[in-house]
Amino acid sequence: MPPADALIPPAELKRLFFRIFPAVALAMFGAALDQTLVAAALPAIARSLGDVERVSWIVVLYLVANTVAAPVYGRLGDAFGRRRMLLVALGFYAAGACACAVAPSLTWLAAARIVQGFGGGGLISLSVALIAEVVPPRERGRFQAWIAAVFTGASALGPVLGGFLTGEFGWRSVFMLQLPLAILAAWLAVTRLTNTAKGSPRGFAFDWGGLVLFSLFVAPALLALDQARKLTPLPLLVAGALALVAGIALWLLLRQERRAPDPLLPLNLLGDATIWRTNLMTGLVNGAFVGSIAFLPIYLTTVRGLSPSEVGFALLPLSACSGFGALMAGAGLARTGRTLVWPAIGLTAAAMALAVIAAGAGVLPMPVLAVLLAVASLGFGSSFPMVQVTVQVAAGRERLGSATASVQFSRSLGAATGTALLGAVLFGALVVAPGDAAGLFVALVNQGASALAGLAPDGRALFQSELLDAFRALFGAAALLTAVAAWLCTRVPLQRV
């Protein structure tokens, strides 16, 4: 297979792309589908397993495992070949989906999502790296329509399919669906991909110390956010202790990576201004995007009174339009060679749309809300292809795997942190509100509208007002994260390829 920076005739480039595309497309489709598919089932899972305060950890713990796994797959893919590691990732993903489908408790489900997340951490990063081996950076914009179609299809199908499956067959069917997808993706990978190990496994020493310390940094940091949202003395003390553990682990991790012969996180790569600023930007974007997807179903059921199937259709603009945003940005890249100007514009529009949603959370008509979600989705989508191209060009071909994994790592860490942070904003606003707003909210999600039957009209009106204020704070926080990401787009040194 010729390198991506070689001069390849257009017809040959097209042939190479479409040989590998079906295999990587299905792997990416499964990973993209998971986010919106499971989000649509969250209210039903909360009612079934009875722990609404921790139901967001079904998303968060998946993303924690995803975050930890991304650099592992990037490093091992460079050494042992990306096809081989893609098959390993699909194995973990399928095993986790099976365990999720039979989960008897939220604890079991959370543990199974960790296994599934460890597999999901390699699906997108390895697939994107496989494409980057074939397609030159600027030409990737011309093929973005096909990649965008994968994410658009998965994102559009996820909420509708998740709502339908949850309403008709129960939330377990959401996870059962993922098993045949993983099996088919594995078959395509075996039949259509070649293994392209760049280094010799004999000279490779995996950085186990770095992996342990990285895990000890990520998990306590996110658990600290979960505890801090409760705003009571004991959880705040626990949050402080966890933050201390995370800080010590980070310090030890940096020392470990400086002296490791084959570091899990190459600091010389991450220290490049283009790479770290782009990764920070994409972390903020995914924090706002995935965090919004995680809590919008709960907002739509508790505030708007929608059914699970109606929630799926209501989420469609947010999930479906991201692919079109990626398509438009990719076309702009192919024509002009400019990268981050497109997400700078798109994310500014997304931040404004989220700010309007925050201001009018209780009064916006559903059609207006749908338009605003579509605008936000287009803006978020404009950043997705650009960060990959920018980081890969800055890193160079010899560090392609680690560079691609750093983007996936930033996306996963940002999504996990953003989901936990937005959850902290929501529950924190309810905890500090007068009365027992947090307890009523938990009962409302678990029991539906019947939980408010015993409230007097004045009490019901007060609770609805407090609930609206909490969701306004959540959407406002998402808008702020997005606005900072838009500003960062203008501060990245590499603006053309």
Q: Within 13 Å of residue 140, how many CA atoms lie on the same side as its CB?
A: 30
Residue labelled with tokens 């998965």: 154
Across the range 250-257, mean pLDDT stands at 89
**248 Cβ contact list (under 8 Å, min separation 6):** none
Residue 245 neighbours by CB distance under 10 Å: 17
pLDDT of residue 159: 73
Backbone torsion region of residue 305, taken as left when φ is above 0, otherwise alpha when ψ lies between -120 and 50, otherwise beta:
left
User: 126-158, pLDDT tens digit by residue?
Assistant: 887 788 777 777 666 666 657 767 876 776 677
Q: Above 80 in pLDDT, residue 454?
A: no
Does 10-206+262-489 carry CATH code 1.20.1250.20?
yes
DSSP 459-484: HHHHHHHHHHHHHHHHHHHHHHHHHH
| Nearest alpha-carbon partner for 391 in 381, 405, 380 | 405
Q: Lowest-pLDDT range, 4-18, 23-37, 338-352?
A: 4-18
Report the DSSP beta bridge partners of residue 338: 496
Helix axes 400-432, 106-132, angle to 10 degrees: 140
- Show Cβ contacts of residue 72 under 8 Å, excluding neighbours closer than 6 positions: 121, 122, 211, 264
Check residue 278 and give its pLDDT: 92
Mean pLDDT of 433-450: 71
Contact 479, 355 (CB under 8 A): yes
| pLDDT at res. 77 | 81
Q: What is the pLDDT of residues 227-236, one digit of tens each?
A: 766 656 777 7
Question: Could you give the 3-state DSSP secondary structure of residue 18?
Answer: helix
Of 395, 151, 95, which is closest to residue 268 (Cα–Cα)?
Answer: 395
- Residue 139 CB-density burial (10 A; 0-12 exposed, 13-18 middle, 19+ buried): middle
Please report, rounded to a whole number, the percentage of residues in the chain having pLDDT higher than 90: 20
Tens of pLDDT, residues 415-436: 778 887 888 888 888 887 777 7
Q: What is the mean pLDDT of the chain?
A: 82
Kindly state the average pLDDT of the residues 43-66.
Answer: 77
The per-residue pLDDT for 288 is 92
Q: Report the pLDDT value the prediction gives residue 335, as an integer from 0 to 100.
A: 82
Which of 61-75, 125-139, 174-188, 243-257 bottoms out in mean pLDDT, i.e. has the lowest?
125-139
What is the DSSP code string of 324-355?
Answer: HHHHHHHHHHHHH-B-THHHHHHHHHHHHHHH
Per-residue pLDDT of 196-206, as tens digits, reads: 655 555 566 77
pTM score? 0.77
Q: Which residue has the higher pLDDT, 212 or 66?
A: 212
- Is a pLDDT exceeding 90 seen at residue 298? no
Looking at beta carbons, which pairs linking 453-462 to residues 24 or more positions away fall under 8 Å? 459/435, 462/434, 462/435
Indicate the DSSP class of residue 496: B
Rounded-to-integer distance, Cα 127 and Cα 187, Å: 15
For the stretch 12-27, pLDDT in tens is 777 777 888 888 888 8
